[in-house]
Amino acid sequence: MPDTITIIDDRTGKKVTVPITDGVFPSSAIRELDPSLFVYDPAYLSTAACKSSITYLDGDNGILRYRGYPIEQLAEKSTFLEVAYLLLNGELPNGAQLDQWTHDVTHHTFIHENMRKRFVDGFHYDAHPMGMFVSAVAALGTFYNQAKDIEDKDSRDKQILRLIAKMPTLAAMCHRFSVGLPFVYPDNDLSFSANFLHMMWKVGEYQVNPVLERAMDVLFILHADHEQNCGTTAMRVVGSSHADPYSACSAAAAALYGPLHGGANEAVVRMLEDIGSLDEVPAFIQSVKDGKGRLMGFGHRVYKNYDPRARIIKQVAYEVFEVTGKNPLLDIALKLEEVALTDEYFTSRRLYPNVDFYSGLIYQAMGFPISMFTVLFAIPRTAGWLAHWQELLADKDQKISRPRQWYTGADTRDYVALSAR
Ligand code: ACO
């Protein structure tokens, strides 16, 4: 069977044959047929907008790998900072590289005092932490004017370091402001995850529990990248205009904010709270099947199988509950999963738990308010966004993102004077 595809324009009889490589054929075939012809592909269901060597995802078989390494192995054996290095550099660091990287990230965790005193203090007292976070990331860029110099590798590397190091600080700052607690400065003697927990929770004496520190790190690893999702696409689209990486990360975080994306774990916990008891599960499932809402934390654009991250998170949940006590919503979640996985509505549509189904329960058990859940997602995803940003800038095939449209509006018509309307 030839690895080619032939497209025939029936209007003209012209045909073009192009190669299929790894299941992909170039859209130049369409342009060759007729430069005024476009493909209508809302939400990019059939469009690969870039080549990428960062994350491999096989949704049918539930496989996720960063730079070739299975997510299960990374979650078991690695740390978030090592994974961030891997995503950004393509290889796992050796001992000296990891020490240097850890040292550099750890020593860039502080933020300019004006970020907090002049910028964050201006928010309304009940501002949503994720709204604050999205704005704070963009504002942070204004403290580093050289960030605009995206052609300079040294400057790019510096901004990457700053963004990864300062995200936990910004995140904790948004939380502390929203609950009226004083800001806690980073403690550079702590690990990346322990430092974040320390900035979040320290009131008087505070010792980070090692089980919770490791759970946080594993959750960070699982959320570090997921190829061309909505937020990463926003990062690439904004980055393609050569905006500075703070602005592009802020755009990516804004995309993540929505309930169909990073906001889903918040929606899952609210859904479980609304269901309230095991007795209500069948009625809730029926209401979803009747089209009265979605089973949040289920379904995925790419995974048509159990999300491998959901499996790992379910295991982490039990480890966390050993320390914190069981989240009372867990039983409802387990029952929902059991019913949905045996219900024809969900199985025929290949709807399985995604990463967000259990993560919210862990966050809640660890004490995070629901409004912080998406912020927790954005901290590690910054590594993925920046890996894609680097890849984009080095990719000679890329230009400024500019899709075409299928115009369906009015044909030309003459202006009508107000008195005649
Ligand atoms: N509950 C009930 N039905 C669903 C669900 C769900 N969670 N998800 C999809 N469906 C149904 C749709 O109604 C549709 O049914 P139909 O063919 O009868 O019309 C079918 O499954 C296909 O759904 P689409 O919306 O076309 O699937 P799409 O790939 O566009 O959506 C999405 C993926 C947005 C994740 C969707 O499954 C969803 O809304 N899930 C709930 C929100 C969620 O958990 N988001 C987190 C995703 S993971 C992440 O972003 C980190």
For 206-233, what is the mean pLDDT? 97
How does pLDDT run across 46-99, given as a tens digit for each residue?
999 999 999 999 999 999 999 999 999 999 999 999 999 999 999 999 999 999
- Are 267 and 259 in contact by the 8 Å Cβ rule? The answer is yes
Q: How many residues does the chain have?
A: 421
> What is the pLDDT of the chain when averaged over all its residues?
95
Per-residue pLDDT at 415: 98
Please give the full DSSP string across 296-310, using - where no structure is assigned.
Answer: TTB--SS-SS--HHH
Question: Which residue has the least CA distance to atom 11 on ligand 1?
Answer: 349
Decide if 356 is catalytic.
Answer: yes
CA distances from 236 to 86, 239, 248 (A): 19, 5, 8
Per-residue pLDDT at 264: 86
Ligand 1: residues whose CB is within 6 Å? 260-262, 264, 288, 294-301, 349, 351, 354-356
Whole-prediction pTM: 0.93
Per-residue pLDDT at 287: 96
Question: pLDDT confidence of 8, banded at 50, 70, 90?
Answer: very high
How does pLDDT run across 104-157, given as a tens digit for each residue?
999 999 999 999 888 988 999 999 999 999 999 999 999 999 999 999 999 999
Question: pLDDT confidence of 2, banded at 50, 70, 90?
Answer: confident
Residue of 268, 286, 349, 354 best suited for mutating to test ligand 1, as the one with most atoms within 8 Å of CB: 349
Decide if 128 is catalytic.
Answer: no
How does pLDDT run across 276-307, given as a tens digit for each residue?
999 999 999 999 999 999 999 999 988 888 88
CA 239 to ligand 1 centroid distance, Å = 28
Question: Which residue has the least CA distance to atom 41 on ligand 1?
Answer: 296
Per-residue pLDDT at 243: 98
Tokens describing residue 317: 């949940």
Decide if 108 is catalytic.
Answer: no
Residue of 227, 284, 300, 358 best suited for mutating to test ligand 1, as the one with most atoms within 8 Å of CB: 300
Q: Report how far residue 337's alpha carbon sits from residue 260's, in angstroms, rounded to the nearest whole number.
A: 19
